[in-house]
């Protein structure tokens, strides 16, 4: 849940990037990190293995500016995508304000995508959240690869509730900020409603 | 929701800062900070400018979450105190009021025993303040008296953040 500090006039929100292993969650954060002005970002932390697979989480704090005199900070986290890190994934979802699901568009990764979305729903429910009620966007990543499914097919399987979705190529940055902006918008509008 | 939103008001913020500043002196500590269990830094005192407090906050919360997971696996509710010993600096991490993490960084000018003793007393004071804080925001929510700054937020406000 977001943290509102009237004393220092700050609002902090937590965004979690979720998805199957090697779908590009960390790459999303790396691109955001590279393209953000130094004064707007903190240090990016990656708790990863020697082969650069995420072990616990990546963390990137962003201070994008002020809204109505309140400093607005977003803390971006990724989860480890590999199936056997489920205990860690649950922990990172604690206190989440919004989720980005990063799907791997490649045909052979469809089963992994579906398994990961189901896992997301279950892990959120354990923390008392309903995926259909929290801010949520879907990103179809790796659109530049040759063996990708059509967006229609991906949408049918992965986005039945029609939340905002985006095509992306996280390595070149295409769609990365569009995705981030969409989730930030949903979170702030939720705050506005006083949820 | 499992955890209600944390809202901090001026009055309690000052009280909290007074408690941790006293703890800093009495425990001979270098830095103290308070972190929400979700990884948000609430406040800090001491030589905070020497450290990346945002990262410290996030990693502390991750640490508490991971040890909490371990605790559950062996049938404990949580491990309420963690201690990390370094060559020069040490970290004493404890859970206050079930949802806030108190981190005390100290070196050889202090000792684990002293820190533990002082933290215990400060924790009681902090628990009382956080209890009041929670009650206050619940009351405000019930009475509809929320001075929420985002009530009139527009699409343009959000677009401007990313421009």
> Across the interface, which of A8, A69, A94 has its CB nearest the CB of B65?
A94
A115 pLDDT more than 50? yes
Q: Which domains does chain B have, with CATH numbers?
A: 10-161 (3.30.450.30)
Q: Is the pLDDT of residue B119 over 90?
A: yes
Helix runs in B90-161, H state only: 112-143, 155-161
Tell me the pLDDT tens digit for each residue of B10-55: 999 999 999 999 999 999 999 999 999 988 899 999 999 999 988 9
Complete domains list, chain A, with CATH: 3-192 (3.40.50.300)
Say what the pLDDT of residue B148 is. 65
Dist. CA B130–CA A187, nearest whole Å: 25
* CA dist., res. A84 & res. A49, Å (int): 14
Token pair in block for residue A161: 């509730």
pLDDT for residue A195 is more than 70: no
Per-residue pLDDT of B152-162, as tens digits, reads: 777 788 778 87
Q: What pLDDT is stored for residue B154 in this prediction?
A: 79
Report how far residue B27's alpha carbon sits from residue B24's, in angstroms, rounded to the nearest whole number.
6
A12-23 per-position pLDDT tens digit: 999 999 999 999
Query: In the predicted model, what is the mean pLDDT of chain A?
Result: 94
Instruction: Say what percent of chain B tops pLDDT 90.
Output: 68
Mutate to test the interface with B, among A33, A63, A94 (most CBs of B within 10 A): A94
- Encode pLDDT of A23-52 as tens digits: 999 999 999 999 999 999 999 999 998 888
pLDDT at A8: 87
B37, B45, B65, B73: best to mutate for the A interface, most A CBs within 10 A: B65
Q: Do A64 and B69 touch (CB under 8 A)?
A: no
Query: What is the arithmetic mean of pLDDT over A95-121?
Result: 97
Q: Which of B15, B153, B154, B155 to mutate to test the interface with A (most CBs of A within 10 A)?
A: B153
B65/A6 CB distance under 8 A: no
Over 90: is that where the pLDDT of B139 sits? no
Please report which confidence band the pLDDT of residue A3 belongs to, taking 50, 70 and 90 as the band edges.
Answer: confident
Euclidean distance between CA atoms A160 and A90, whole angstroms: 23
Q: With bands split at pLDDT 50, 70 and 90, how would you rate the model's confidence at B137?
A: confident
- Is the CB of residue B62 less than 8 Å away from at least one CB of chain A? yes
Determine what percent of chain A is predicted with pLDDT higher than 70. Answer: 99
Q: Does B148 touch chain A (CB under 8 A)?
A: yes
**Which residue does chain B place closest to A15, by CA atoms?**
B38
Residue B2: pLDDT above 50?
A: no
State the smallest CA–CA distance between residue A129 and chain B in angstroms: 6
User: What are the tens digits of pLDDT across the range B52-76?
Assistant: 988 999 999 999 999 999 999 999 9
Which residue on chain A is closest to B159 by alpha carbon?
Answer: A181
Complete DSSP assignment for A9-27: TEEEEEEEEE-STTSSHHH
């Amino acid at each position: 849940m977001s943290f509102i500090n009237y004393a220092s006039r700050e609002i902090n929100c937590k965004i979690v990037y979720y998805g199957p292993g090697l779908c590009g969650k960390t790459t999303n954060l790396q691109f955001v990190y590279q393209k953000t002005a130094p004064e707007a970002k903190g240090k990016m932390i990656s708790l990863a293995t020697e082969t650069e697979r995420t072990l616990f989480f990546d963390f990137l704090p962003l201070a994008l500016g002020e809204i109505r005199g309140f400093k607005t900070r977003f803390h971006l986290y990724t989860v480890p995508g590999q199936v056997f890190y489920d205990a860690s994934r649950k922990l990172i979802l604690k206190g989440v304000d919004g989720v980005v699901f990063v799907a791997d568009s490649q045909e052979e990764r469809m089963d992994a995508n579906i398994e990961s979305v189901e896992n997301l729903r279950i892990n959120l429910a354990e923390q008392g959240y309903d995926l259909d009620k929290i801010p949520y966007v879907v990103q179809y990543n790796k659109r530049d690869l040759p063996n990708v499914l059509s967006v229609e097919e991906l949408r049918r399987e992965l986005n039945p509730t029609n939340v905002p979705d985006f095509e992306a190529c996280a390595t070149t940055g295409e769609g990365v900020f569009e995705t981030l902006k969409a989730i930030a918008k949903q979170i702030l509008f939720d705050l506005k409603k006083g949820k | 929701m499992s955890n209600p939103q944390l809202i901090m008001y001026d009055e309690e913020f000052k009280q909290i800062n007074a408690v941790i500043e006293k703890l800093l002196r009495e425990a001979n500590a270098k830095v103290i900070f308070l972190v929400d269990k979700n990884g948000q830094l609430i406040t800090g005192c001491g030589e905070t400018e020497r450290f990346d407090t945002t990262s410290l906050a996030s990693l502390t919360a991750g640490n508490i979450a991971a040890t909490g997971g371990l605790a559950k696996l062996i049938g404990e509710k949580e491990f309420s105190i963690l201690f990390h010993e370094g060559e020069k600096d040490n970290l004493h991490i404890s859970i206050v009021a079930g949802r806030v993490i108190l981190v005390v960084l100290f070196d050889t000018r202090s000792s684990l025993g002293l820190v533990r003793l002082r933290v215990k007393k400060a924790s009681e004071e902090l628990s009382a303040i956080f209890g009041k804080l929670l009650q206050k925001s619940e009351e405000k929510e019930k009475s509809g008296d929320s001075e929420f700054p985002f009530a009139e937020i527009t699409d343009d406000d959000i677009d401007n953040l990313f421009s």
